[in-house]
Amino acid sequence: MTRLIIGAMVRAIGAYPSGWRYPGAHRDPRGDAAVLRRAAEVAERARLDFLFFGDWLATGHDLEYRDPHLVARVDPLSAITYLAGVTERIGLVATVNTTYADPFTVARASASADLLSGGRAALNLVTGSDARSAANHGVDFTHVSTVRYDRAVEFQEVLRRLWDSFDDDAIVADAASGVFLDPDRLHATAFHGEHLRVAGPLNAVRPVQGHLPVLHAGLSPSSKLFAAQHADLALVAVSGHDQAIAVREELRSLAFESGRDDRTLKVIAPVLPIIGETREHAQAIADELSELVQIAEDWPGGAPPAFPAARSLAQLSTLVGVDLTGLSPDRAVTPTLASSFSDAGQLLVEIVAERTGRAPSGDRPPTLRHLVVAASVNASIVVGTAAEIAAEFAAWGDSGAVDGFNVLSAVQPAQFEAFALGVVPELQRLGVFPLEYEGETLRDHLGLERPANVHTADRVRLEERLLR
């Protein structure tokens, strides 16, 4: 059986748009510290490989309805530094936007986090694609959008050169001789690129892991190329098993063509499991979450400004090929109505039936709201018991579709704990996830070698050329 990488994408108020409204859910960001600490403790007891903290560098009223977890959230580097002090073995991943961040500051903060955590930190490097974030950083959105991947390539190279400022044995600390630092083992960064110029060296010792593991997410051509050439883990949101296999093969091919060992690139997929004690219980949870999602027609006088256009009967009408405008969002989808839908509409009916147990011919038919939610909530959702979800995870791993999963939780803390305390033991029983941590660092968890110092490697290559 394939050993899966399992991480948790932590969103303190839940990853589902209506998760914060679910009974017993955490819903106030002012209490995030306690929720994050509890999640970290539970995740570490379950032996999860890492906790992952995403980011968004702007806020607004529209996010309340589209992605409420983005409205107000803890800075990722602050989160992993905080959790480093209350955990011992689990990896901690912080997102950094390379379009706006200062590489020296990021290198210093991340090297420090790796030292303070004993080698458990990692960075998810993303690029800016949001006009509000650009405005918050005082830069021209059109310009940065054009060059963001070019800057990201330079950014990751600068990070590695800064992390390697000190050789591992540069600090001599010989009290008898009075020698603290071997100056020959401290390296200037001396990077002069098109977008970044950094002198260095970094005023922090080399990270415990040498280089922090680098993650990158996305499916655009530029994103896939960046991940294949520079990332240790690629996060790919896929619509199904066949697409996952194709994307993983493409990324591995791109990695091989770039000259790296393609086996060192791990491909993981985000997934949102909804877990119940029985399949019917899980479907009931998914059903209630769907009913708690607001759509445009819930406001008789019109939806609030910037409400997601996709979350409406007007958009659903276009998708299913039937004019549904003017109807109640809670109108039942009868067999007669469903039979008039397009193929895309029929597929939505099937998705809702699988997730919620509601079918047009059943005692509790789906409503138009269920179809709107299924069409507009952008997440890879799997519904079932802990054993059923674990079996599906294992099947994806064994077929070569993924190397692992980054798990979102619809509701905090209930669904997070249902996964950590329910699904993970099933994965362990299947032999696809370890019972204990297999090493001390996050690189150990991920099966990644500790890299050589880039400055030392540069010197060796120079000496080899001179000897030819």
pLDDT digits (tens, 9 = 90+) for 337-358: 999 999 999 999 999 999 999 9
Domains of the chain: 5-276+380-455 (3.20.20.30), 294-376 (no CATH)
The answer to whether the pTM exceeds 0.85 is yes
pLDDT band at 306; cut points 50, 70, 90: confident
- Nearest CA to 144 among 98, 192, 95, 193? 98
Query: Phi-psi bin for 47: left (phi > 0), alpha (psi -120 to 50), beta?
Result: left
pLDDT digits (tens, 9 = 90+) for 176-229: 999 999 999 999 999 999 999 999 999 999 999 999 999 999 999 999 999 999
Q: What is the mean pLDDT of residues 377-395?
A: 96
Tokens standing for 32? Answer: 């995030």
- Residue 95 clears pLDDT 70, i.e. is over it: yes
pLDDT digits (tens, 9 = 90+) for 29-43: 999 999 999 999 999
Q: Which residues contact 83 (CB under 8 A, 6 or more apart)?
A: 36, 37, 40, 51, 92
Percentage above 90 pLDDT, the chain:
93
- Nearest CA to 445 among 455, 436, 454? 436
- Residue 375 clears pLDDT 70, i.e. is over it: yes
- Give the pLDDT confidence score for residue 305 in this predicted structure: 87
Q: What is the mean pLDDT of residues 9-30?
A: 97
pLDDT band at 462; cut points 50, 70, 90: low
Burial 194-204 (b: 16+ CB within 10 A, else e): ebbebebbbeb
Q: What is the mean pLDDT of residues 309-336?
A: 96
- Residue 393 clears pLDDT 70, i.e. is over it: yes
- Residue 464 clears pLDDT 80, i.e. is over it: no
pLDDT digits (tens, 9 = 90+) for 236-262: 999 999 999 999 999 999 999 999 999
Count CB-CB contacts under 10 A for residue 27. Answer: 15
pLDDT band at 378; cut points 50, 70, 90: confident
CA distance 96 to 58: 14
CA distance 390 to 399: 14
- Give the pLDDT confidence score for residue 456 in this predicted structure: 86
pLDDT digits (tens, 9 = 90+) for 40-67: 999 999 999 999 999 999 999 889 988 9
Are 188 and 261 in contact by the 8 Å Cβ rule? The answer is no
State the average pLDDT for the chain: 96
- Give the pLDDT confidence score for residue 466 in this predicted structure: 55
- Give the pLDDT confidence score for residue 468 in this predicted structure: 58
pLDDT band at 439; cut points 50, 70, 90: very high
